[in-house]
Structure 1
């Protein structure tokens, strides 16, 4: 074995295992399996035009040299991004810990109680600081959260009959520029009219339904919005506020004014800048909007024994259920970053946060006083951390500051703003003062910090306490925090314990060498709006990644801006929309979507202003070509796009795909390919070859970015030549095509820091490794399929009987024994496995995807578990629900209880197969009561008495 070949570390199947696997499947070699799986007319004729893979050692040296091309300045640009200090205890125990970053979205609550508690802490922190009743478990960034607020309030108009026709939305001119750009993107297809202006002179009228304010404003001014909000309420206009979370430690929370939504980012709670992300946004609102709030909400319920339990609440709001009726396409969060931000609040506590916020504010006041003593005019009458200064000649000042390694926000030729942060020292203040003195030609000056009272007036000072719950007042030493984090980690089953075989979610290895650079300062401490010359390492890496993805997809250009798969879907459709409009065909608004599509597909299409027409699937699970042809002809004059997942959501390479894409093009439409199943394509076929025009790629699936417990994600779009001009832009840093749509996310390159992972994955695997990884994924899926043959029916296969990289097993026949698919999912926990995808895309089924990273031994353990469960199903009876499946999962408390009233042994319950005893995972709760939790919604850390009531 060549120990320098990364593919040998990433791909789990050893050469010696192949003959056994081929024998089980019934093929002679890998070439025969691929021949029988992928239609001939879409196979690539040549290998990927990518360099040979490099070793992990070589990659780490390469990425180190690349990082040194980034220049680390002291950056005071602000505009929603601030240097923050990640406590080492959080960096080491969460960010760098696979127990946290390899976990999946907590749909199986019984094996996710640690993450759920951490997210409940996050929600409590946000609710307390904003003064709102309810917060979700994070969104993607501040700008997209603001856009979600705008659209949620738009949907709420129907509650007020006289507002049904209101389409105007007021946007304060103090809004961040990237947020304004994104609001424009979201507003256009929905028919929302943005009116940008001064909140003090704005005139309310009946054609407005909502407004959004920035607190503090983009240049630092802190306004008292209480009067504006009252006037808005008097005129039945709902108000959202984009707020800086650290400022809310000292400032009156917007909830006290009676606003409807508060959004923002928690980046400055210990999250690296990372050239724009990933960061966890927050979204807080009133409880009356709980069924409208986008994203995920963590709630408190009880388990089978009546003990307190956590789970994702109100899931009937989610797009995978409501589809084209959903008000948002959000299917992910920024869980890993939200966990870190929440833990930052746990570690510092309310007093620590007050110290940090007060220090930042005092330093801003000190700097203002020093600059005023030099003769500069400070323009903000009230500020928290950002002062706005008239400098006379900002060009001259810029030469001086950049010479000292400092970035300011240059508003115009004679005005700058300076945003301070928790990392600013007294020496940093002195250097700033020195730069301004030099700019004014002051030879002798005093830059010593002077004791300065804050300048926040009493009317805007925070009066109410916050973070009073015990969790925020208990873990302030590193020892205690480390143990608390470990306590939570032990409650979660992540990829570092066993295979997570989730169909459509591709839980593969997130290699340590891919992850290590995320902790390096030269990657983490770069503001997204610095001059490009300071981010040459990032620019080189991002351009190389775009080129790699172009090669893999066969397309002409890539935008890395979308920071989730759903955002990628939306971006792709908006690019198609712009393309049609450029050709004078803006009337094209019909989007055809197969019935088997992901729920995000129809939700994204509606958000892009398109009308969804669903096409049928046939009895084999493929697109019903006859039905598609009929609907294409019916809507040919207005056909905008087809959204198709390939291979299909059913795990099949449909042989009619090129006929389908040709049909769409013949009738004036474009083909959008959902990249969720790209792990079955890389190196063997590609979206361009099947006839697509645009695809999004889930870098957190196929390209090894970890799921992080439900986020971060990156969802770039790759496009054909005709769509290249319309790739999204950014209002601060030039990016995108020649005729770009407005922003899709806040940062120019989205979650740039996370892109390092996919860049490393491709760089180390190289052309051959990538192709072999795809082959291994297909091999592993077909091995599982054939090992389960005769015990579990696979619903759909290709024309030659093969699965792609995933398959759906049918659990509906087991209802005759009283067993539901949920019972199988919960019983798998007792065997040490996370359940495959439950009841998607077909109710009563499990969708299994093993990925290429798993070894034959792990595949066999998983198959042994399912076969053992199959025997348990045979022994179950609908007449007697007291069985090992219905009672699963079994906790340590059950097994060690003095009372055992079950008709099976403790051994069968907890250790059903010998391997389980070697590495037992204990769920911390029994099954959760979902209905109880939704009826009694609690989404913040409650007093202990409230838990007793549960």
Structure 2
């Protein structure tokens, strides 16, 4: 046995466990199981054409060598991305800590109170710095957040009858170029007409429903938008503002100017640039728009004892419920990065943030004054961190790059310079020296920063912010370290036990895959740096695209979409562009099976498609005859089918090739949702089943951590028909020959975390990837075999097999007074996160173990479920005072002086022997969802609450 093989560490079951597992499942060997699971006509006939697998040691040496090909120049490019200082205490205790990065989205609030508090801190920071009333738990990046702002304003316009048919949206020419590209992508399909212009000459016509401004502008100009917003509001035009969050420490917040929405990125709050991401965007708006707000909101509620407890609020807004009526398809936030940004605010507090913002501004003013003295004149009349100077751009570029410095060159004689938190006096003198050499002047070294401001006194921030205790109590490293640990202890993550979420594939995030993210030559590069400075990245990203092409059987890949939902949208927009290019713009009908993910119809609606739902059979499969009838009925206008494979019900449907042929025969293309790709890799692929495009969840199948609900990456892989339409970027050339406009802000999306998937594939190789898939299927069928004696299992393949996940039907327990939620909460007492609850079928649990779990962990989970089944049997509807209805049980309950429940404390806390070895205590009792929605509070308590 090769003990240095990465597959040995990644795949859970040991060789000597297989015989027992096969016996339990009822097969002779792995090949029999795979034969009985995957239809023979879609099985791959050869191994994946990938490089030989590397060991962990070889891979880490390899990635370090590639990293040396990246040139980390001092960056003054700006445009929404800035060098930043990641506090070491946050890097070590959050960014590099599996207790934080392996957690799942906090749908089970009782075992996620730490993360929920950290996100509440983030929301509070955003609300107070923007001057708004409500903020969400983060979005994907600034540009997509701006597009969401446009969508929200378009959605709420219908409340004003006068604006019902108005579709024009004003975009300031000061907007970031990547944001303009996103607005162009998102506006056309939903019928919004963009009008780009100068805000000073805007006529406030009644033809407009909204506007968006940049604050400060893309090249640093700080404008006072108070009058503009007042006039817009007077004309029923609602205004969004894309704002630099660090500048809001010193400048008047847009909320105080009357803005309806404020968006931006928190990358400056201690998040590495990472060649474009991941970074947590923010979205803040008015309380009255909360039902139209995209993304998740963390709210304050109470538990069964009336104690304060946090939860995800207003879930009825989300796309999985609203489906084709959703205004957004967002299912991914950037929680890990939002937690870091929130902790940055906690660590520095208001005084620290004021010091940092003042130093950044002083650096810009000092440099501007020194450059003016040598005849390099600064042209912004008012600025925060970015100055614009006049000089020979080509001459300056040559000297700057020789000195390993990057500026942004607007045109041949105009240069933008953005200063940042890392800028020192030495850096400022280097900048001045570069320009002095270009113009042939001597310089006097700068020895101190100026104390002058270079923006109007009227725009100086007067309001206080972050006065709450949490932002004023953790400024030493030991204090913050203990606060982070206190929160971490309240959260159940993969470093405690398996998280068996169906559809979400919570697999191992190996340490060797994660280590490069902390390396400076990978995480310190600006996404708009000259491409020759990112040679290491170019090699890795192109190689990852090739690897994903091989795995999917397709010819092209874009890594730009930074979530699975964005991947869905990108795939549909590529299909739309394909039809338009063939003169078939009328092809807009999208067929979606009734069992599909809620993001599917939401994405199709955003892509401007007409959604036709097709039936599923009693066995949960696509009703082929209904699909055929609808495809023929809509043949003249058919755009595509959206299909998940294996199905959302965890089954390899044997009719899949017939299904895809029906679509192609009627002029449509096939989009495959890659959520269940963990059951395909190395055994079949989207091209073989007849798909034209698929998205992949790199945070599922390809090992990027979920990070508490993000980061995610959702690349799309396409066949040669769609390669020309892969998305572009306005600054760095990427995409196809007939590229659609951008899907996310950065050219390669969240490039930094793509290193993880590159490592995962490189260390597993063809054989390892295929074995991972086989073991995922084995683990699922082993659990199915153990549990189906105790729970009805909904849906299975023609030979009785599950794919990589299964659905347990819990609806019959209602006669005992037990709901599926009770089982989910009781599992916490056994030390487990619940499987996926009530998706895709209400009243069920969907379980997916992944290949990373060994037999001991699988058995622990099965033992817990079987024990719970016995508890259900003993329950009665007439007497609901049982261990299921009272779950979860907290330490406070168990150690209270009185115990008046009809079962023992031991039964409550230690229902099985193994639990006592490693007990996880939920920190609150069951959270009251209704109370939290009725009394929505989504920020830290006001200062008065601490007095």
Deviation by residue 1:840-859 (Cα, 9 ceiling, x = unmatched) = 00000000000000000000
Matches within 5 A, 1:188-207: 188-207=188-207
- How far apart are 1:191 and its partner, in Å? 1.1
Tell me what 2:265 maps to.
265
Tell me what 2:521 maps to.
522
Deviation by residue 1:201-243 (Cα, 9 ceiling, x = unmatched) = 0111111000000000001000000000001011100000000
- How far apart are 1:332 and its partner, in Å? 1.2
Tell me what 1:256 maps to.
256
- Greater shift in the superposed pair: 274-283 or 49-58: 49-58
Deviation by residue 1:100-128 (Cα, 9 ceiling, x = unmatched) = 00000000000000000000000000000
Please report the RMSD computed on the Cα atoms of aligned residues, expressed in angstroms.
0.9
Q: Helix, strand or coil: the match of 2:195?
A: strand
Q: Helix, strand or coil: the match of 2:936?
A: coil
Matches within 5 A, 1:534-933: 534-933=533-932
Residue 38 (structure 1) aligned with residue 38 (structure 2): yes
- How far apart are 1:944 and its partner, in Å? 7.1
Change (3 A) 1:150 1:444: closer
Task: Name the CA distance, whole Å, in 2 between partners of 1:426 and 1:31.
Answer: 66
Task: Name the CA distance, whole Å, in 2 between partners of 1:926 and 1:78.
Answer: 46
Matches within 5 A, 1:155-174: 155-174=155-174
Task: Name the CA distance, whole Å, in 2 between partners of 1:426 and 1:340.
Answer: 28
Task: Name the CA distance, whole Å, in 2 between partners of 1:435 and 1:839.
Answer: 62
- How far apart are 1:439 and its partner, in Å? 0.5
Q: Helix, strand or coil: the match of 1:290?
A: helix
- How far apart are 1:97 and its partner, in Å? 0.1
- How far apart are 1:943 and its partner, in Å? 3.1
Tell me what 1:304 maps to.
304
- How far apart are 1:630 and its partner, in Å? 1.0
Confirm or deny: 8 A CA contact 2:362 2:449 kept in the other structure: no
Confirm or deny: 8 A CA contact 1:434 1:447 kept in the other structure: no
Confirm or deny: 8 A CA contact 1:433 1:447 kept in the other structure: no
Deviation by residue 1:493-541 (Cα, 9 ceiling, x = unmatched) = 0000000000000000000000000001000100000001100000000
Tell me what 1:212 maps to.
212
Confirm or deny: 8 A CA contact 1:437 1:445 kept in the other structure: no
Confirm or deny: 8 A CA contact 1:308 1:947 kept in the other structure: no
Task: Name the CA distance, whole Å, in 1 between partners of 2:644 and 2:584.
Answer: 25
* Paired positions, count: 947
Matches within 5 A, 1:70-109: 70-109=70-109
Q: Helix, strand or coil: the match of 2:291?
A: coil
Task: Name the CA distance, whole Å, in 2 between partners of 1:199 and 1:590.
Answer: 38
Tell me what 2:936 maps to.
937
Q: Helix, strand or coil: the match of 2:775?
A: helix
- How far apart are 1:689 and its partner, in Å? 0.1
Q: Helix, strand or coil: the match of 2:771?
A: helix
Tell me what 1:53 maps to.
53
Task: Name the CA distance, whole Å, in 2 between partners of 1:490 and 1:332.
Answer: 24
Residue 11 (structure 1) aligned with residue 11 (structure 2): yes
Unmatched tracts of structure 2, length 5 or more: none
- How far apart are 1:51 and its partner, in Å? 1.5
Task: Name the CA distance, whole Å, in 2 between partners of 1:899 and 1:376.
Answer: 78
Task: Name the CA distance, whole Å, in 1 between partners of 2:429 and 2:689.
Answer: 61
Task: Name the CA distance, whole Å, in 2 between partners of 1:207 and 1:600.
Answer: 32
Task: Name the CA distance, whole Å, in 2 between partners of 1:498 and 1:486.
Answer: 18
Unmatched tracts of structure 1, length 5 or more: none
Confirm or deny: 8 A CA contact 1:791 1:867 kept in the other structure: yes
Q: Helix, strand or coil: the match of 1:672?
A: strand
Task: Name the CA distance, whole Å, in 1 between partners of 2:125 and 2:74.
Answer: 29
Task: Name the CA distance, whole Å, in 2 between partners of 1:689 and 1:205.
Answer: 53
Confirm or deny: 8 A CA contact 2:728 2:747 kept in the other structure: yes
What is the TM-score with the length of structure 1 in the denominator? 0.99
What is the TM-score with the length of structure 2 in the denominator? 0.99
- How far apart are 1:448 and its partner, in Å? 4.0
Deviation by residue 1:450-477 (Cα, 9 ceiling, x = unmatched) = 5341122211000000000000000000
Confirm or deny: 8 A CA contact 2:836 2:845 kept in the other structure: yes
Deviation by residue 1:716-740 (Cα, 9 ceiling, x = unmatched) = 0000001000000000000000000
Task: Name the CA distance, whole Å, in 2 between partners of 1:442 and 1:900.
Answer: 83
Task: Name the CA distance, whole Å, in 2 between partners of 1:212 and 1:884.
Answer: 53
Tell me what 1:465 maps to.
464
Task: Name the CA distance, whole Å, in 1 between partners of 2:714 and 2:449.
Answer: 48
Tell me what 1:242 maps to.
242
Residue 283 (structure 1) aligned with residue 283 (structure 2): yes
Deviation by residue 1:175-195 (Cα, 9 ceiling, x = unmatched) = 000000000000010111100
Tell me what 2:382 maps to.
382
Task: Name the CA distance, whole Å, in 1 between partners of 2:822 and 2:229.
Answer: 50
Task: Name the CA distance, whole Å, in 2 between partners of 1:757 and 1:174.
Answer: 36
- How far apart are 1:3 and its partner, in Å? 1.7
Confirm or deny: 8 A CA contact 1:429 1:449 kept in the other structure: no
Tell me what 1:482 maps to.
481
Q: Helix, strand or coil: the match of 1:777?
A: helix
Confirm or deny: 8 A CA contact 1:364 1:387 kept in the other structure: yes
- How far apart are 1:48 and its partner, in Å? 0.5
Tell me what 2:368 maps to.
368
Change (3 A) 1:796 1:946: farther
Tell me what 1:112 maps to.
112
Q: Helix, strand or coil: the match of 1:858?
A: helix
Task: Name the CA distance, whole Å, in 2 between partners of 1:496 and 1:445.
Answer: 56
Tell me what 1:354 maps to.
354
Change (3 A) 1:446 1:905: closer
Confirm or deny: 8 A CA contact 2:468 2:943 kept in the other structure: no
Task: Name the CA distance, whole Å, in 2 between partners of 1:195 and 1:900.
Answer: 67
Deviation by residue 1:531-590 (Cα, 9 ceiling, x = unmatched) = 011000000000000000000000000000000000000000000000000000010000
Confirm or deny: 8 A CA contact 1:564 1:714 kept in the other structure: yes
